[in-house]
Amino acid sequence: MINSREALIQTTEAAKATLASYGCRILVCSGTGCIASGSEAVYEEFRKLAKDDHNVVLEFKPHDEAEHDSEVVSDVKNALGVKKTGCQGVCELGPLVRIQKGDDVIQYIKVKPENCEEIFQRSVRQDDVIESLLYHQGEEAFRGPDDIPFIAKQTRIVLENCGKYDAESFDEYLAGGGFTALQKALFEMKPEEVVDEVDKSGLRGRGGGGFPAGRKWKQVARQPEKERFVVCNGDEGDPGAFMDGSVMEGDPYKLIEGMMIAGYACGAENGYIYVRAEYPMSVARLRKAIATLEEVGLLGDDILGTGYNFHMHINRGAGAFVCGEGSALTASIEGNRGMPRVKPPRTVEKGLWAKPTVLNNVETYANVPKIILQGSDWFRSIGTENSTGTKTFSLTGSIQNTGLIEVPMGTTLREIIFDIGGGLKDGGSFKAVQIGGPSGGCLTEQHLDEPLDFESVKKFGAIIGSGGLVVMDDNTCMVEVARFFMSFTQRESCGKCIPCREGTKRMLEILERIVNGDGELQDLDLLEELATMIKSMALCGLGKSAPLPVLSTLRTFRDEYVEHIVNHKCRAKVCAAMRTFHINPEFCKNCGKCMRSCPVGAITGNREVGYTINSKQCIRCGACKENCAFDAIYVEM
């Protein structure tokens, strides 16, 4: 049991000693991405190799020295750790493995089980580097993770532990400085001082709205009602965003520590984490972390002998995007339909079970320990005047290096896409980047050099949102993208208020019409009118922001809409209804199969003169192309 500050310090020292005693650690990335690429098999292979090797001690722990042969243990250089870490960042190049000896780290990419033996012999037992498994850019190879431009150009605060430590290990979290912030808060600061520090840091909610966290905490702390709650929004529903999932599965203890500090600051004894259903691993790792903390006494009653009580609970989402909205989320925890309610009263006054509630998202809480530890001035030194600190983004779409990144607020899009992301995939040309998911908008070429912070992005009609960045190239049709987002919000609309329920449906119908080639020019005015109406009248933030992707694409890519309507042309060659089918007489053998397979009789001709497709009659089903044995039918956009 860790029931006093001294006991915690002692345990931390022991954990640090253990960590320092490893001659070598093999760090296998166990983020969702790398596991999908097969990192579990790589991990098992390394464990097997280590077990079979009698010269090393696997998972060395100083306090069970007695169990080992004393001769081996005395030579700590032989202690080997095989660990599963949180996301190491470059998801597309997984499975990722780091070989760490003291301060020296080698980063290997695309490691397969059959590479493990060689790595073990050459890089673990000896100090050799396997060039072919390093990250390459052109001819140049990069040895350590911090040498790779993708990682070197980031500032990692929230993600600092991801990839460095065993994500499931309490000891490793302690050894990396975990729970020192909680100690400082509990023993050296009054609750109001903690609130003040967070307030002064300028930390703003990372979930979308960007409301100052400190102000929220202050409002909860001054409520007359004494029973209060701390709730974490881990319902990261924006398609194309996986930052919060990576924090929950990669550094679960940090999130919990942040919430414990919030609980202390605001006088709450219960914390809830609401995790979306699609993140089973986040749930598993958080549960494990909570169980461990309860076991050692860091969660529960009278934490570290201070009299502070804090209990943690996990709720799993059940597949409703709208539960990312505060009042819908608390309704869902209470066991109700997840529907937003009219505000005020706001969550800080009447949140969970109608009690004052601090509701922040995962990344916001994960920032808290470092702010307490290093102070608000340090935090303010990163980022911009009104958007302090860093922001995590998931960088996806048509980009060279996809993955999880963290940069100071105010970094430009150009730095993110070209310096960190390595530019567009397959040499494509940049068209737009979609930011903020279905509540956000598109930024284009002209915004590349603008700083990304809460204010400036809002100025361009988008939002930072939770931080999904989906890069789009010439092969992306912006009208289709707008339709895609609208179909998402329409499906996810909870149906409580009419502007959102009916409005999104009508907007979707119009967009489908345009994409199917049946649009009219006046549809564009109608879209704008509906969008403005929904934006101003919907009940909750999700409804209010639902039209943003349409408004934003209409503003910047209006000519593409017009092209679809007037010229029946989709320049990205995406919209199926804009296709026309033709027969290439060079390959055609006049067999007539296409004519027989056409369901509407749009193909005419005979064996002597050949066949032609009447594009007026053609329904663009593609049956002729599929049935042609000679590849003689081609598609034009």
Partner 1 sequence: MLEEAYYQKADEIIEHYGKKAASLIPIMQDIQAEYRYLPGELLTYVAGQIGITEEKAYSVATFYENFSFEQKGKYVVKVCDGTACHVRKSVPILEAFQKELGLSAKKHTSDDMLFTVETVSCLGACGLAPTVMVNEDVHPKMTPEKVQALIQELRGDKK
Judged by beta carbon, residue 39 or residue 556, the one nearer partner 1 is 39
Candidate segments 131-139, 242-250, 297-305, 412-420, binder of partner 1 by CB under 8 A: 242-250
CA 214 to chain centre: 24
Q: How far is the CB of 491 from partner 1 (least distance, A)?
A: 9
**319 touches partner 1 (CB under 8 A):** yes
List beta partners, residue 107: 98
User: What does residue 438 show for φ and ψ, rounded to 5 degrees?
Assistant: -70, -10
**242 touches partner 1 (CB under 8 A):** yes
Judged by beta carbon, residue 111 or residue 333, the one nearer partner 1 is 333
Binding-residue total with partner 1 (CB under 8 A): 55
Binding mask of the shown chain, residues 137 to 176, with x at each position contacting partner 1 by CB under 8 A: ----------------------------------------
Residue type, 203: L
Residues in the chain: 637
User: What does residue 169 show for φ and ψ, rounded to 5 degrees?
Assistant: -100, 120
Binding partner 1 by CB under 8 A: which of 92, 196, 474, 523?
92
Q: How far is the CB of 434 from partner 1 (least distance, A)?
A: 6
Judged by beta carbon, residue 591 or residue 637, the one nearer partner 1 is 637
Q: Which of residues 51-90 bind partner 1 (CB under 8 A)?
A: 90
CA 134 to chain centre: 25
Number of alpha carbons in the 13 Å side-chain half-sphere of residue 3: 6
CA R_g for the chain: 28
Q: How far is the CB of 67 from partner 1 (least distance, A)?
A: 35
Among 472, 478, 474, 446, smallest CA distance to 558 is for 478
Task: Give the C-alpha separation, 606 to 617, whole Å.
Answer: 18
Q: How far is the CB of 270 from partner 1 (least distance, A)?
A: 12
Among 194, 219, 274, 246, smallest CA distance to 363 is for 246
Instruction: Using the Cα atoms of residue 229, residue 234, residue 239 and residue 240 in order, give the sign of their dihedral.
Output: positive
**240 touches partner 1 (CB under 8 A):** yes
First to last CA, the chain: 69
Residue type, 188: E
Judged by beta carbon, residue 418 or residue 484, the one nearer partner 1 is 484
Judged by beta carbon, residue 11 or residue 434, the one nearer partner 1 is 434
**37 touches partner 1 (CB under 8 A):** yes
Binding mask of the shown chain, residues 258 to 297, with x at each position contacting partner 1 by CB under 8 A: -------------------xxxx-----------------
Task: Give the C-alpha separation, 270 to 216, whole Å.
Answer: 17
Which string of DSSP letters, residue by residue, matches 101-167? ETTEEEEE-S--HHHHHHHIIIIIIS----GGGSEEETTEEE-SGGGSHHHHT---STTTTTTTSBT
Judged by beta carbon, residue 207 or residue 338, the one nearer partner 1 is 338
**334 touches partner 1 (CB under 8 A):** yes
Contact residues toward partner 1 (CB under 8 A) are 32-33, 35-37, 90-92, 94, 236-242, 245-246, 277-280, 315-316, 318-321, 332-339, 394, 396-398, 402-404, 434, 437, 468, 470, 472, 476, 481, 484-485, 488, 492, 494
